[in-house]
């Protein structure tokens, strides 16, 4: 029985070592050297792996995403029928994301872009002091990542709202759901943070129509997936001054093409999908736990709900 590992070349060995540290008896095969396809009982994959390829392994019992998101595994043709998919819920991954969200919320809240522009022009000038209690944060998605960012922002004294597709309660957070709830929240959101899973329902959720609902001068932070945001619509909203600035970690496609207007835009902060990076040693225990559970036919953890898409 063997585990197929397939990820970016530079992290392959780290993952291998991290999995072996949890269970030295694992037989780990580094893709594309899978050996006998019948040996493979579990596949641990990142975005680049072709799901059609996984149909070669007749005894595959489990597919694990090496990240929080699973949209890349679920899109056509999807995992082989009947194979359960697990994703990561990892403290370090969550911590990294919380830091990145705080970094950008504070950057916008504390007028960092204006002060950098002033510095470039050697201008010594004080802007009006921002009011934390008046800066309303609206978070799209209150799952593992959105919930953690919400708590951290509440801790700093920001009023925090959150939106989910179906009703959800998070202590201290004003929660909204559904279509009408989305419109209601956006109308009062000064800094919008997207931490949703990408599903057919959430694709393009940040577009001209929804951007227009935000108050003039609002900020947009996207750390989820490029597909949540319609780039042309954001550019138009930035250029009209309706949106003040955006911090973006994710794009469609990735890498962001060299000639894309985001790169040189003075109101856009571009990150190379690095807001939070999975640390193999931190994530490996839950992966190995799931491999053992799958082998023994026990219930799996962090399972993806195919009907919900995350
Ligand atoms: C990264 O994008 C992840 O899904 O973990």
pLDDT tens per residue, range 244-253: 999 999 999 9
- Output the CA 109–ligand 1 centroid distance in Å: 26
The residue behind tokens 């595994």 is: 73
Give the burial class of 183: count Cβ atoms within 10 A of its Cβ; 0-12 exposed, 13-18 middle, 19 or more buried: middle
Residues tagged active-site? 225, 273
> What is residue 47's predicted lDDT score, i.e. its pLDDT?
85
Q: Is the CB of residue 230 less than 8 Å from the CB of residue 208?
A: yes
Q: Is the CB of residue 2 less than 8 Å from the CB of residue 28?
A: yes
Ligand 1 contact via 159 beta carbon (within 6 Å): no
pLDDT tens digit at each of 310 positions of the chain? 899 999 999 999 999 999 999 999 999 999 999 999 999 999 999 988 999 999 999 999 999 999 999 998 998 999 999 999 999 999 999 999 999 999 999 999 999 999 999 999 999 999 999 999 999 999 999 999 999 999 999 999 999 999 999 999 999 999 999 999 999 999 999 999 999 999 999 999 999 999 999 999 999 999 999 999 999 999 999 999 999 999 999 999 999 999 999 999 999 999 999 999 999 999 999 999 999 999 999 999 999 999 999 9
Query: Which residue has a Cα nearest atom 5 of ligand 1?
Result: 67
Between CA 239 and CA 218 the distance in angstroms is: 13
Q: Is the CB of residue 247 less than 8 Å from the CB of residue 107?
A: yes
- Output the CA 69–ligand 1 centroid distance in Å: 5
- Output the CA 31–ligand 1 centroid distance in Å: 20
Ligand 1 contact via 69 beta carbon (within 6 Å): yes
Ligand 1 contact via 73 beta carbon (within 6 Å): no
> What is residue 58's predicted lDDT score, i.e. its pLDDT?
97
Ligand 1 contact via 68 beta carbon (within 6 Å): yes
Closest ligand 1 atom to 250 CA: 2
Q: Is the CB of residue 102 less than 8 Å from the CB of residue 153?
A: yes
- Output the CA 226–ligand 1 centroid distance in Å: 12
> What is residue 48's predicted lDDT score, i.e. its pLDDT?
87
Between CA 105 and CA 219 the distance in angstroms is: 9
Ligand 1 contact via 67 beta carbon (within 6 Å): yes
Closest ligand 1 atom to 93 CA: 5
Residue to probe by mutation, ligand 1, list 67, 280, 286, most atoms within 8 Å of CB: 67
Residue to probe by mutation, ligand 1, list 68, 97, 280, most atoms within 8 Å of CB: 68
- Output the CA 67–ligand 1 centroid distance in Å: 4
Ligand 1 contact via 96 beta carbon (within 6 Å): no
Q: How far is CA 254 from the centre of its chain?
A: 14
Ligand 1 contact via 85 beta carbon (within 6 Å): no
């Amino acid at each position: 029985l063997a585990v197929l590992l397939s990820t970016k070349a530079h992290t392959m060995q780290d993952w291998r070592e991290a999995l072996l540290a949890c269970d030295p008896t694992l037989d780990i095969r580094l893709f594309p050297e899978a050996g006998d396809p019948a040996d493979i009982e579990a596949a641990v994959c990142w975005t680049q792996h072709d799901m059609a390829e996984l149909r070669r392994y007749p005894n595959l019992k489990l597919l694990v995403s090496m990240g929080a998101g699973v949209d890349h595994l679920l899109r056509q043709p999807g995992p082989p029928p009947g194979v359960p998919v697990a994703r990561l819920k990892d403290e370090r991954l969550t911590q990294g994301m919380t830091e990145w969200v705080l970094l950008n919320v504070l950057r916008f809240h504390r007028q960092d872009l204006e002060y950098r522009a002033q510095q470039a022009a050697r201008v010594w000038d004080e802007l009006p002091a921002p009011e934390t209690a008046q800066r309303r944060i609206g978070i799209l998605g209150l799952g593992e990542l959105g919930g953690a960012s919400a708590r951290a922002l509440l801790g700093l004294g920001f009023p925090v709202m959150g939106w989910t597709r179906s009703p959800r309660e998070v202590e201290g957070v004003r929660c909204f759901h559904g279509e009408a709830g989305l419109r209601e929240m956006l109308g009062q959101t000064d800094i919008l943070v997207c931490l949703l899973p990408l599903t057919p329902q959430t694709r393009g959720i940040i577009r001209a129509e929804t951007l227009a609902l935000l108050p003039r001068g609002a900020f947009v932070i996207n750390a989820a997936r490029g597909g949540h945001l319609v780039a042309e619509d954001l550019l138009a909203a930035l250029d009209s001054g309706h949106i003040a600035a955006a911090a973006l970690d994710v794009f469609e496609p990735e890498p962001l093409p060299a000639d894309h207007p985001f790169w040189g835009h003075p109101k856009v902060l571009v990150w190379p999908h690095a807001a939070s990076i999975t640390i193999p040693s931190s994530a490996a225990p839950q992966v190995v736990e799931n491999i053992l559970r799958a082998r023994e036919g026990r219930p799996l953890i962090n399972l993806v709900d195919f009907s919900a898409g995350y």
